[in-house]
Structure 1
Amino acid sequence: MKTVGLIVEYNPLHNGHMFHFRESKRVAEADAAICVMSGHFLQRGEPAVVNKWARAEMALHMGADVVLELPVAFAPQPAEWFAYGAVSALEATGVVDSLIFGSESGSLAWLDALAAQMADESGGFRALLRERLKSGAPYPAAYSEAVARHVGGVDAEELAKPNNTLGLHYLIALRRLHSGIRPFTIARQKAGYNQAHIDDEHIASATAIRRLLFEERRLEAVRPYVPQATYDVLRREWEAGRAPLSWDSFAKPLLHALLSRSAAELAELCEVGEGLEHRIKTALPRLAPDEPLPVEQLLGELKTKRYTRTKLQRMLLRILLGHRKRQLTPELLRQGVPYLRVLGFSEKGRELLKTMKKTAKVPVLTKVTSASLAPGNQILLQMDIDATSVYALGYPNATSHDLFRDYYEPPVRLD
């Protein structure tokens, strides 16, 4: 069974994702598809608009056969570690033949040639990167400019486009893992990444769809841009009070985490560095208590040319989740995912999972038990369990079942 791997977030799944999915299976000539999907919290440091099981269900209705969770240790990371964790999961299945990703350029050749030169980063490149960062450039721009100077003949602006950057890191990860998975890329169509405006009758970016959800506060507004199954799942979650979630759904627990820690304690957490702990403490008293959207206020107070919104969101998320630097070291992350957590599967996916039980390089988890928390899995899996509990705090009426849903919820199944 030829199987294509996709790395996704589906926040929420929309018509553009449907196009990409169908094209991916066609290009790869695949019989089945495995999606590695971020859980409750996403690569740009944002909470998902709906929980991971709901988004896995959307993917299965679209045609995915197995949905695996990308652990929260890897999901809200810069491109390098996000890509490495996701590719390590696809490689660990032992059944994925190809990886297909979207890109702005739609061309694999230049990205793959660049990946061959960047897979083993030299001290010279790191020095160039540090130089650009010291000049005040945000990390994405600094990385692209350093690559262009280090390699030569690279268009830094083209490389800095978000999906091109992610694509490069997928290709680097494949090389670092010595993977036999074959990569392909498909050009993004119509709506661009993070494009907030809508100029098509049926295609809109996830950013634009989320804006409709939060500004219009009407689910009907997104109906032209999402598959019927996505709409039905969103409606169910909305009516149950579990959607849509945004950063300000977590304002109280986040402010508690910020106020109850000293600057020194904040500095021990992931993504907090270069004096940001002091900047946070200075910004907190400036928040207007009578104004709505306190997290948006805080992000506005913290943002500078150097610190992008994405960087700051990732920092606030790690503070919210209490992830310490000593827990998520580069040495730990280089080991890749220590387990494959199954969020959902189709009937064909059931056959894939049977095969994966034999071929997978790490344990395949269809439920969380005390045995799942074995020493090799413990740190990262406990982080995923805790992330579910924190995510449920965004619900207006969270139950104990919501808080500890990882222990109760079986994979979503579509027969």
Structure 2
Amino acid sequence: MQVIGIVAEYNPFHTGHAYQIARTRQSLGGECAVVAVMSGNWVQQADCAIADKWLRARLALMGGVDLVLELPTVWATASAEGFARGAISLLERSGVVDVLSFGSEGGEVDKLAEVAACLNTPAYQQAVAARAGSGLPFAVCRQQAVEELLGSEYGALLSRPNNNLGIEYIRSLRAGNSSIRPMTVLRQGADHNALLGSADHENRPPFVSATQIRMDLMEGNWDRAQPYLVPGGRAVLEGSLVGLPGLRRVERAVLAKLRTMGAENWAKLPDSGQAEGLPQRLERAGKQCTDLKDFFDRAKTKRYTHARLRRLVLWAYLGITTQDIPHSPPYLRVLGFNARGQELLRQMKDCARLPVLTKPAHARQLSEKGQRLFELEARCTDLYDLCFETILPPGREWTTGPVRMLEEER
């Protein structure tokens, strides 16, 4: 039986994710096990996840995933390159994954692989360097460089978020000389982050974006969201006693952090733009702003994208510095499994190239690097738990085990 690896946020798991799994299994000729590397409580858009990682792992298991592993926050909140590097390292070191499946707007893995190869050439580096002084965001310079080398069709692939992630997955596989084979499923329905217009609510398409589902959930429109959740998913989400989290509930705490940060503190964060003078700009914005919108308005320029600034603010709140990020993940944290996932875990005892944590207590047996990262993750969970209307007691990271969905326990 082949094992499929998927990288996802599942924020939350929806019908588009189920479609990807079904199409991948169909393409590979039948039943396959699915291992998902899933972002924890904080996601790449520099926001808190719509539900905690254990609840989202449960929804993923209900939707067809067999084993859920955690992508730690330091990679889950990074740019596409860092996000991909951390996730692919975990899939590779699990020792059980044969095929990487990802969704894309292009749907042709060979073309994405050509772009991935181009990004590793000296010619590409020279083309990007020639645009470095233009003041344009790096993503724009990157796309222009690929258009120059491969043509507009290939450059345009980088303008779509799922294509972009897929290209970074392929680059990471190649950088590690991985035997995992990449494949892609053509994305169906709404674009990434797309929201429905007023007329669309009357005749909703078969797939909508996770952004739309989150908006519906946060606004209490459960009937709108329900058709796009895994069967039984609404009951699981509504059954949460503490409701849905929102970053707005910790905005004052974030502002308090920003007001106390000097340029030297900003410079310690990942992707701080120290060579470009960004820390000084961020210090001024932090000491002058009255809310987060005001901060972003003061800090943004054509060069510094809103996404980059949001990540920097989140890292400041969480206290994540460049020194906190290991070169690669030091452990495999299990968030949930079913019976087939349990069999995969048995195999991983022999073939995984990292310690496998099936209980929080196992973290105390890790190397010093692993213990530091787990303790950082515990802090990130404690800060996430401030985003609920009812604040949860600290320490959940050390007391919550994986979700188990075994036949005999159903």
> TM-score scaled to structure 2, two decimals?
0.90
Partner Cα distance (1:113, 1:217) in 2: 44
**Residue 303 of structure 1 pairs with residue 300 of structure 2:** yes
Task: Give, in whole Å, the separation in 2 of the partners of 1:376 and 1:265.
Answer: 22
**TM-superposition CA deviations, 1:152-208 (whole Å, max 9, x none):** 565322322111111111111111111111111011001111112264344210111
Q: Supply the AA of the counterpart residue of 1:233.
A: V
* AA matched with 1:148: E
C-alpha distance in structure 2 between counterparts of 1:256 and 1:8, whole Å: 32
State whether structure 2 residue 404 is matched by structure 1 residue 413.
yes
Aligned residue pairs: how many?
Answer: 397
Q: Give 1:29-40 correspondences, 5 Å limit.
A: 29=29, 30-40=31-41
Cα distance in 2 for residues equivalent to 1:301 and 1:18: 41
Three-state SS of the structure 1 residue aligned to 2:74 is coil
Question: Which runs of 5 or more residues in structure 1 are unaligned?
Answer: 289-293
- Deviation larger for 361-370 or 142-151: 142-151
- Unaligned regions of 5+ residues in structure 2, if any? none
Residues of 2 paired with 1:393 and 1:259: CA distance?
20
Q: Does 1:235 align with 2:228?
A: no
CA distance in 1, matches of 2:32, 2:115: 30
**Contact 2:18 2:63 (C-alpha < 8 Å) held by counterparts:** yes
Q: Match of 2:134?
A: 135
The Cα offsets for residues 332-374 of structure 1, whole Å up to 9 and x where unpaired, read as: 43xx221110000001111110111111011111122252442
Q: How far apart, CA to CA, are the structure 1 residues paired with 2:355 and 2:132?
A: 39
Alpha carbons of structure 1 residues 260 and 153: separation in structure 2 relative to 1, 3 Å: closer
Asked whether the equivalents of residues 101 and 183 of structure 2 are also in contact (C-alpha less than 8 Å), the reply is yes
Alpha-carbon spacing, 1:394–1:153, altered in 2? closer, same or farther (3 Å)? closer
What are the equivalent positions in structure 2 for 1:14-413 lying under 5 Å apart?
14-29=14-29, 30-118=31-119, 120-122=120-122, 124-151=123-150, 155-197=154-196, 199=200, 200-214=204-218, 216-237=219-240, 240-243=241-244, 245-273=245-273, 274-284=276-286, 287-288=289-290, 294-328=291-325, 332-333=326-327, 336-369=328-361, 371-400=364-393, 403-413=394-404
SS of residue matched to 1:228: coil
Which deviates the most, 63-72 or 268-277?
268-277
Given that 2:118 and 2:124 are in contact with CA atoms closer than 8 Å, whether structure 1 keeps it comes out as no
How far has the Cα of 1:121 moved from its partner?
A: 4.3
- Compared CA separation, residues 87 and 189, structure 1 to 2 (3 A): same
Moved more, 144-153 or 155-164: 144-153
Partner SS, residue 108 of structure 2? coil
Q: Do the aligned partners of 2:193 and 2:212 also contact (CA within 8 Å) in 1?
A: yes
Distance 1:15 1:276 in 2: 41
Match of 2:140, as an amino acid? A
Q: Structure 1 residues 260, 204: CA separation in 2 closer, same or farther (over 3 Å shift)?
A: same
Contact 1:12 1:230 in 2 (8 A): no
Percent of paired sites with the same residue: 36
**Partner SS, residue 398 of structure 1:** coil
Deviations 1:221-254 (A, max 9, x none): 32232223321222123xx2241x2331321221
Letter in 2 for 1:275: G
Q: Distance in 1 between matches of 2:152 and 2:300?
A: 32
Q: 2:115·2:154 contact (CA, 8 Å) conserved in 1?
A: no
Q: Note the C-alpha offset of 1:108.
A: 0.9
Structure 1 vs Structure 2 CA RMSD: 2.1
Distance 2:124 2:154 in 1: 16
How far apart are the structure 1 equivalents of 2:371 and 2:153?
42
Distance 1:233 1:396, change over 3 A: same
Residue 382 of structure 1, CA deviation: 2.3
Cα shift readout 1:274-328 (whole Å, capped 9, x = no counterpart): 333333343346545xxxxx33443344333222221111111111111122333
Alpha-carbon distance in 2 for matches of 1:254, 1:175: 38
Offset of residue 255 of structure 1? 1.3
**Residues 285 and 264 of structure 1, relative CA distance in 2, 3 Å threshold:** closer
Relative to the length of structure 1, the TM-score reads 0.89
- Partners of 2:312 and 2:340 lie apart in 1 by 39
SS in 2 for 1:155: helix
